[in-house]
A and B are shown apart, each in its own frame.
Chain A
Amino acid sequence: MAETLTPYITIREVERELARLRDASTEPGQPPRLRTSVMTHIAWVPERWVEAATGTLAGLAERHPSRTIVLFPRPDDPEDRLDGDVDLRCFVRGGEEHEVCSEVIVLRLCGRRASAPASVVTPLLVSDLPVFLRWRGPLPFGLPELEGLAAVADRLVVDSSEWPDPRDGLARLPGLFERTAVSDIAWARLDRWRRGAAALWPEIAGASRVRVAGPESDALLLVSWLRARLGRDLELDLEPAGEIELVEVDGRAAAPSRAEPKTASDLLSDQLEDFGRDRIYEEAVRNFSSAAT
């Protein structure tokens, strides 16, 4: 995805290319292909996440007709420039007559062009549609690239399990809540375990300990959620593991609801259907944050 980019591209050229692709996609005598966008989807993908992101993005366009803008920041590149590529991906829907097309714009932001990405994407947003921002890796709180893009986005999608220091990240995350809706793929993965824990109510109303075998971020979210919802302090006993294997509240094992484990694309896709703020998630993160500070 990243190798074939045209070097030294300008936003005007990207716009022109989008227009050209739209024109070219209509064949004489055929009904015009529909540019069906329900959102602009921005993905911020630092170098080490490129492979994971490429896998997740493949197949997403069909589910979410959108304009997708993938940003590869390369702040260490000695040259200040933009490289880019524009592509139209069309899918057949409802028989042969109708094709639905999504636009994919890939931009590599080199050197200092990586520090103000909001000014790069704003000209490319589809008018009036919501903007989703998928931020790969840890959030650089307070830095202009995050601040600027968060101000443009209606919803910021993160995965706190990608963060090397989830404690620090979750403690600082509430600072963003009033500016943009935040959703967390780690939180989405917890859904079935939360259902399992909810089934233990009311026996666990006075619980004081939680044992979790799983990633730290997931465990922190889970215990913070229980603390906030039950209105009491619970102690966390964490056994590190790649994904959640066990949740015990006061010695009672929670049985995860039976649902097929979802792929990375499924999880992101679910997040892109949500528009409002997730109050329960915010409450859990705030609970952690206030305990941490």
Chain B
Amino acid sequence: MTQLAEPNPLLEGLRVRRRAEPCALTIFGASGDLTQRKLFPAIYALAFRNLLPEQFAVVGVARTKMTADEFRARMQEAVRKHCRDDFRSEVWDELAAGIRYVCADLVDEQEDREVIEVLNEVDETRGTAGNRVYYLAVPPSAIEPIVVQMGPHRTTGGWTRVIIEKPFGHDLDSAQRLNEVIRAYFDESEIFRIDHYLGKETVQNMLVLRFGNGIFEPIWNRQFIDHVQITVAESLGIEGRASFYEQLGAIRDIVQNHLLQLVALTAMEPPIDFTSESVRNEKVKVLRALHTPGPKHVVRGQYGPGFIEGEEVPGYREEDGVAPDSTTDTYVAAKVYVDNWRWADTPFYIRTGKRLPRRETTIAIQFKSAPHPPFEVDRDDGLRPNVLLVHIQPDEGVSLAIGAKVPGQGMTIRTVHMDFLYGGAFRGGLPEAYERLILDCLLGDATLFTRADEVEEQWAIVDAMVAPWRRDRPHFPNYPAGTWGPGSADDLLHRDGRSWRRH
């Protein structure tokens, strides 16, 4: 490739998309569920939009014995089933020509040499120029061995980046250790820790909402905001992933990453620019300022049998593969404070759980009530505080609840919603989180990935929250499936004269 000394004058006025440099993407754990449901559909969607480099290859690595053709057929099936775009054979054929498969466990040198050989082959035949992305879509225990095996074989020609799926460790010690191991081979700028929530449009829109509009930031503080509620609710159970979930529980599966990310994005100070270091510096500051909640401010729960969508579902302890006396948490609620000038004494109530009545992820900013309403409101329910509700899923959008007068005689006030729904305002489907994240990694932009110090701060908070749990045995199950969690979670807010949003 020849580098032009001067910028191309003919490109002026043409919209040029960021285009990634040639590279080969190696997926470890290529026969897994994540690869089929998320990664390949995302890669196809990027190819569909012509966002991948022309010189591109995907190398699947997994223990399952199959040929490259079988692997291609499987991935084609996955794309047809899970991708948001139509299946077009010309797009697929081009992509498929660069797909390789290596059956390997990566425990011995012989196997990783095979992977390297395939990578060298695609450098030659596909022109991927020695640039490599390793995507570690494997269970946490497999990360370290792969890094140790692959780390020393850096290409001399191009760059190397490594994407690591969550959970990143299982406590502060393991996360620090993992960071150490990875940093022995890779620089922090080459490490991309995934929290797929950050790839969601609405999560990014939170930053635009706050920092791209003049009206919100002046009131985004303790003076005007009464409290914040962040909910990550799932109606699903553990879907056969008992062995995985038994080790994690809700606190490590959701609180450590997604929930704390949402707290950080809600509470962070304006970054000076939208570069990876500026944004992540501000998020880390919030995490450092988080006051570790004491045992009275943390509620854990586990679901018993109940009803979801009218259907009877078993309790957690009755799920396949779960110990009948399991004390794994499927629900966590907590009251946390951000100890800084902006947020002192403003509680952030966070909760997450499985088998809750509905699937929803929301950030609700509840403002203080009007100081002195001059109306004689005769109904109990007339004046409610304003709530800015950021929907992250399922309906991505933002809505503001305001009190309005009901037309007619008298003064009846009713809450109405000003809704901004993504679906209604912009045409074109929303990209899946993984499309954005994979593309960002190919481009070397780590803004939406978690930095080492960030992940360690998150674990420090979680470790402090779970420390008291070892001392007492919880009375589980303590909420029926299909309800909003244990009663003690309601008490957590009632003690402060507040309550959870009901729906």
A123 vs B311: C-alpha distance when bound (angstroms): 13
Mask for B401-440, Cβ within 8 A of A = 1, else 0? 1000010000010111101010111010000000000000
In whole angstroms, what is the CA distance A19 to B422 when docked? 10
**Docked-complex contact A122 and B503, CB < 8 angstroms:** yes
**B379→A275 contact, CB < 8 A:** yes
A35 interface contact, C-beta 8 A: yes
The answer to whether A128 touches B380, judged by C-beta atoms less than 8 angstroms apart, is no
B328 CB, min distance to chain A CBs, angstroms? 23
Considering only residues 201-224 of chain A, those with a C-beta below 8 Å from chain B are none
Given the known interface contacts A130-B381, A276-B379, the answer about A32 and B503 at a Cβ–Cβ threshold of 8 Å is: no
Q: Are A277 and B380 in touch, CB under 8 angstroms?
A: yes
Which residues on A sit within 8 Å (CB–CB) of B424?
22-23, 26, 32-33, 35
A197 to B379, CA, bound (A): 25
CA distance A32 to B308 in the complex (A): 34
- Would you call B415 and A120 a contact (CB within 8 A)? no
* Cα–Cα distance between A131 and B307 once the two chains are bound (Å): 20
- Checking A10, A128, A274 against B309 with a beta-carbon cut-off of 8 angstroms, the contacting residue is A10
**How distant is B421 from chain A, measured CB to nearest CB, in Å?**
6
Interface membership of A11, Cβ < 8 A: yes
**CA gap between A195 and B406 in the complex, in Å:** 25
Is residue B170 contacting chain A, with contact meaning CB distance below 8 A?
no
Q: Shortest CB–CB separation between residue B410 and chain A, in angstroms?
A: 11
Pairwise interchain contact A114-B310, C-beta atoms closer than 8 A? yes
**Which residue of chain B is the closest to A117 with respect to CB atoms?**
B310
Q: How far is the CA of A114 from the CA of B310 in the complex (A)?
A: 7
B380 surroundings in chain A (CB, below 8 A): 275-277
Interface size class of B (residues with CB under 8 A): 35 or more
Residue of A19, A112, A129, A131 near B395 (CB, 8 A) is: A19
Partner of A127, one of B379, B399, B416, B427: B399
Closest to B312 in A: A112
Contact between chains at B362 and A275 (CB < 8 Å): no
- Residue B394 lies at the interface, judged by CB distance under 8 Å to chain A: yes
Question: Could you mark each residue 47-86 of chain A with 1 if its beta carbon is under 8 Å from any beta carbon of chain B, else 0?
Answer: 0000000000000000000000000000000001010000
Judged by a CB distance under 8 angstroms, whether A2 is at the interface is no
Task: Say yes or no: is A257 at the interface (Cβ < 8 Å to chain B).
Answer: no
Q: Which residue of chain A has its CB nearest to the CB of B412? A: A273
CB-CB < 8 A to B175: which residues of A?
none
For A19, what are the chain B residues with a Cβ–Cβ distance below 8 Å? 394-395, 423
Which residues in A have their C-beta under 8 angstroms from that of B138? Answer: none
Contacts of B357 in A (CB 8 A): 118-119, 122-123
Q: Which residue of A lies closest to B481 (CB)?
A: A119
- Tell which of B359, B399, B503 has the most Cβ of chain A within 10 Å: B503
Q: Who on chain A is nearest to B387 by CB?
A: A128
Complex CA distance for A276 and B378, rounded to whole angstroms:
8
Does B482 make an interface contact (CB < 8 A)?
A: yes
**Are A82 and B310 in contact (CB-based, < 8 A)?**
yes
**Given contacts A33-B424, A122-B503, A128-B415, is CB(A273)–CB(B406) below 8 Å?**
yes
Indicate if A38 sits at the interface (CB-CB under 8 A). yes
Residues of A1-37 whose CB lies within 8 A of B: 10-11, 15, 19, 22-23, 26, 28, 32-37
- Residues of A near B351 (CB, < 8 A) are none
- Closest-by-CB residue of B relative to A144 is B307
Contact with A along B236-265 (1 / 0, CB 8 A): 000000000000000000000000000000
A116, CB-defined interface residue at 8 Å: yes
Inter-chain contact B308/A119, CB cutoff 8 Å: yes
B389 interface hit (Cβ, 8 Å): yes
Residues in B with CB closer than 8 Å to A118 are 307, 357, 482
Does B98 sit at the interface, judged by CB under 8 A? no
Residues of B near A173 (CB, < 8 A) are: none
Within 8 A of B (CB), among A95-126: 109, 112-120, 122-126
Q: How far is the CB of B224 from chain A (nearest CB, A)?
A: 19
A80-B311 contact given A19-B395, A116-B482, A127-B391, CB 8 Å threshold: yes
| Interface flags, B360-383, vs A, CB<8A=1, else 0 | 101010000000000000111110
Confirm or deny: B55 has a beta carbon within 8 angstroms of a beta carbon on chain A.
no
In the bound complex, CA of A36 to CA of B414 (Å): 13
Q: Collect the chain B residues with CB atoms within 8 Å of residue A277's CB.
A: 380
| B422 shortest CB reach to chain A, Å | 9
Q: Is B196 an interface residue when CB atoms closer than 8 A count as contact?
A: no
Chain B hits for A11, CB < 8 A: 309
Judged by a CB distance under 8 angstroms, whether B276 is at the interface is no
Contacts of B503 in A (CB 8 A): 122, 125-128, 131, 152
With A and B bound together, what is the CA distance between A74 and B60 in angstroms?
51
Q: Which one of B389, B394, B414 lies within 8 Å of A38 (CB-CB)?
A: B414
**Are B415 and A35 neighbours in the complex by a CB distance under 8 Å?**
no
Q: Residue B235 at the A interface, CB < 8 A? A: yes
CB distance from B386 to the nearest CB of A (A): 11
Q: Is the CB of B382 within 8 A of A275?
A: yes
- 8 A/B residue pairs, CB under 8 Å, sorted by A: A19-B394, A34-B419, A35-B424, A38-B415, A112-B312, A119-B309, A119-B311, A123-B235
Chain A residues proximal to chain B, CB less than 8 Å: 10-11, 15, 19, 22-23, 26, 28, 32-38, 80, 82, 109, 112-120, 122-131, 152, 154, 273-277
List 8 tightest A-B contacts by C-beta distance, closest first.
A116-B307, A123-B358, A276-B380, A113-B310, A122-B357, A275-B381, A276-B379, A119-B307
Residues of B within 8 A of A (CB): 235, 306-312, 357-360, 362, 364, 378-382, 387, 389, 391, 394-395, 399, 401, 406, 412, 414-417, 419, 421, 423-425, 427, 482, 501-503
Beyond the given pairs A115-B310, A131-B503, 16 more chain A to chain B contacts, judged by CB atoms under 8 angstroms and listed by A's residue number, are A15-B395, A80-B311, A82-B310, A116-B311, A119-B309, A119-B482, A127-B501, A128-B399, A128-B503, A152-B503, A273-B406, A273-B412, A275-B381, A275-B382, A276-B381, A276-B382
